[in-house]
Structure 1
Amino acid sequence: MRPAIRAAVTDDLPALVALDSLSFGSQAWSTVAWTDEFDRLAEDRVILVADEGSVVGYVVLLVPSVALDVVEVLRIAVTPAERGTGIGGQLMTAALARCAGRTVLLEVAASNESAVGLYRGFGFEQISRRRGYYGGGEDAVIMRWREEQ
């Protein structure tokens, strides 16, 4: 069964904080940071969750005003038990559907081969690299997606 992809609600906050911590460790967002993301939903944030009776994944987008044509994927994560099952792809499909006519940017750790592969499969291309951007000197790969015309 495929999870439902839906807009996040404030009741999802504890699950999002827990999944973020599990996925990003010391670079996870705090509860305060997640609360700030929810506070910005009406302004410029979109948070989608994959729901199988509980939150098994999420994606957070920065969607500036219509005057700007660039969207940024701020975060995407799937529970360890569900990784490799297509949920990340479902979330990315839903996210990109909201980005019609816009360019989408994201950054990913260079060593995260599964994520880089996922993004390439959606047509993202590497446009830059930030040397030593992450703790421990790991590079960040900057990727861009443009909807095919």
Structure 2
Amino acid sequence: MTAEEMAALHALCFTTPKPWTAAEFASMLADPFVFALTEAEGVLLGRAVAGEAEVLTLAVAPQARRRGMAARLMARFLYQARLRGAEAAFLEVAAGNLAAIALYRAHGFAEAGRRRGYYRHPDGRAEDALVLSRSLGKPAPPAAT
């Protein structure tokens, strides 16, 4: 999936926070610690560095929701995070995004903090961001040769 395709999908999914542009996706993808997991109508951008992994964004096209795609992308993220040496994973989600919160809780995430009034909706209304985290356990040591 190209940066342009990711941006088009993101625009279908978000008004708050503001959808990312193709240039923003391209910039993120240029970071060696960032990785993209994609399906035909879904994308998850993650970052793993210094023992921590973060979900940067997760977007599934509205017409493709409720079919397990987000759950598959999250499972792949957790796997990739462990492969990249992460011992903990974090993400941020709008407090009112109950479907996303349920998905993240089903993958072992719990609330670690709250950023009051973090998101601004187009109508000016403020919404809290929840910071969720989970342990990934210590990575296995390399096999002896």
Scaled by the length of structure 1, the TM-score of the pair is 0.82
CA contact (8 A) 2:109 2:134 kept: yes
Aligned length: 130
Greater shift, 91-100 or 12-21, is seen at 12-21
- Alpha-carbon distance between aligned partners in 2 of 1:143 and 1:110, rounded to the nearest angstrom: 11
- Alpha-carbon distance between aligned partners in 1 of 2:98 and 2:62, rounded to the nearest angstrom: 15
Alignment of 1:95 onto 2:77:
yes
- What does 1:32-111 correspond to in 2, within 5 Å? 32-40=23-31, 43-51=32-40, 56-64=41-49, 68-100=50-82, 101-111=86-96
Letter in 2 for 1:142: V
SS of the residue corresponding to residue 74 of structure 1 reads strand
Alignment of 1:14 onto 2:11:
no
Q: Look at both structures and tell me which one has the larger radius of gyration over its CA atoms.
A: 2
Q: Which segments of 5 or more consecutive residues in structure 1 lack a partner in the other structure? A: 1-7
Percent sequence identity over matched residues? 30
List structure 1 runs of 4+ shifted beyond 6 angstroms. Answer: none
Letter in 2 for 1:20: H
Q: 1:121 aligns with which of 106, 117, 120?
A: 106
Letter in 2 for 1:75: T
- Alpha-carbon distance between aligned partners in 2 of 1:50 and 1:57, rounded to the nearest angstrom: 5
Alignment of 1:29 onto 2:20:
yes
- Alpha-carbon distance between aligned partners in 2 of 1:69 and 1:59, rounded to the nearest angstrom: 19
- Alpha-carbon distance between aligned partners in 2 of 1:13 and 1:62, rounded to the nearest angstrom: 16
- Alpha-carbon distance between aligned partners in 2 of 1:146 and 1:94, rounded to the nearest angstrom: 16
Superposed CA deviations along residues 18-69 of structure 1, whole A, max 9, x for unmatched, are: 01111122611112111112222xx111011013xxxx000001112xxx11
Alpha-carbon deviation of 1:148? 5.3
